[in-house]
Amino acid sequence: MTTHPTTAPLFAIASGKGGVGKTSLTLNLAALMAQQGQHVLLLDGDTGLANLDVQLNVQPVKDLAHVLAGQATLADIALPIPQLSQGKGSVTLLPGRAGHAGLTSVTQPQLTQLLTDLRTLTLTPSPTVILIDVAAGVAPAQLLMCAQSTATLLVTTPDPSSLTDAYALIKLLWQQHGTANTRLIVNQASKTEGTQVHTRLTTAAENFLKLPPLPLLGIIPTDKHYSQAVRAQRIAALTAPQSTAVEALETLLPNLV
């Protein structure tokens, strides 16, 4: 039987600099999407320091390391996440493993195969959207995940180093893959700061790379309820739905799917 690639959009949540909020945004987006009836497939694409499982407080028996070693298929490691599967939607995790030699040294052909398998993975219910939590940085693995996605959701804070690294990711994606699929999420920022960050990045990309304007997907404020949820291994979208960060994420969703 021939398996056709999914038509579900695939979003790579990426950043240049680390610690800007990718993992927590990925999980909150997944929870909100599931509430709206989407069937979300989550790939832990942080091949160095995977931690979606930690944040979800689940203990996978098999993970991507087994898949790369040929000991399991993606279907074998698919882990339903009931706490995020609210309403008619669902969330399924493809877990990674932190600090695993095989994963940290994943080759381009292995990764290409993994992404192909991801698109052809048959699950019940069928995924309607795929999210990849990409590792920070601009290494070949990160660039490939972004280049193979429908859109790269580039997360940055207003910190100058985060902004510089975000530009580096846009530049390398364009120069090495001919990909200009980036949409911007400015995290831990006021409206004014977020708008300034967007203007600076889009101006640089237009002037120096001759890229079209960079869409601004959303500006997420710093929110202590959100960080408290992260620390307690909870998902703010579920435990603090009225928090300003979750509300900002909700307003971003219609522009995404």
Ligand X SMILES: Nc1ncnc2c1ncn2[C@@H]1O[C@H](COP(=O)(O)OP(=O)(O)OP(=O)(O)O)[C@@H](O)[C@H]1O
Per CB under 5 A, the list member of 23, 28, 55, 156 interacting with Mg ion is 23
Q: Cα(233)–Cα(76) distance, rounded to whole angstroms? A: 25
Binding-site size for Mg ion (CB under 5 A) equals 2
State the binding partner of 19 from ligand X, Mg ion, none, CB within 5 to 8 A by kind. Answer: ligand X
Please, what is the minimum distance in Å from the beta carbon of residue 14 to Mg ion? 10
Which letter does DSSP use for residue 208 in this model? Answer: H
Q: Which of 100, 109, 118 is nearest to 50 (CA)?
A: 100
Q: Which of 150, 81, 143, 144 is nearest to 114 (CA)?
A: 144
Range in contact with Mg ion (rule: CB under 5 A) among 21-29, 107-115, 163-171, 231-239: 21-29
Residues forming contacts to ligand X in the complex (CB under 6 A) are 15, 18-24, 46, 136, 187-188, 220, 222-223, 226-227, 230, 245
How many CA atoms does the CB half-sphere of 82 hold within 13 Å?
A: 0
The DSSP bridge pattern shows strands 39-45 and 90-94 to be parallel
Please, what is the minimum distance in Å from the beta carbon of residue 53 to ligand X? 13
Q: Cα(194)–Cα(179) distance, rounded to whole angstroms? A: 24
Nearer to ligand X, 220 or 252 (CB): 220
Nearer to ligand X, 132 or 245 (CB): 245
Q: Cα(156)–Cα(219) distance, rounded to whole angstroms? A: 10
Token pair for residue 128? 């309607």
Nearer to ligand X, 128 or 218 (CB): 218
Token pair for residue 181? 């699929």
Please, what is the minimum distance in Å from the beta carbon of residue 15 to ligand X? 6
Residue indicated by tokens 């599931």: 34
Nearer to ligand X, 119 or 164 (CB): 164
Q: Cα(112)–Cα(168) distance, rounded to whole angstroms? A: 22
Please, what is the minimum distance in Å from the beta carbon of residue 192 to ligand X? 16
Nearer to ligand X, 91 or 136 (CB): 136
State the binding partner of 97 from ligand X, Mg ion, none, CB within 5 to 8 A by kind. Answer: none
State the binding partner of 182 from Mg ion, ligand X, none, CB within 5 to 8 A by kind. Answer: none
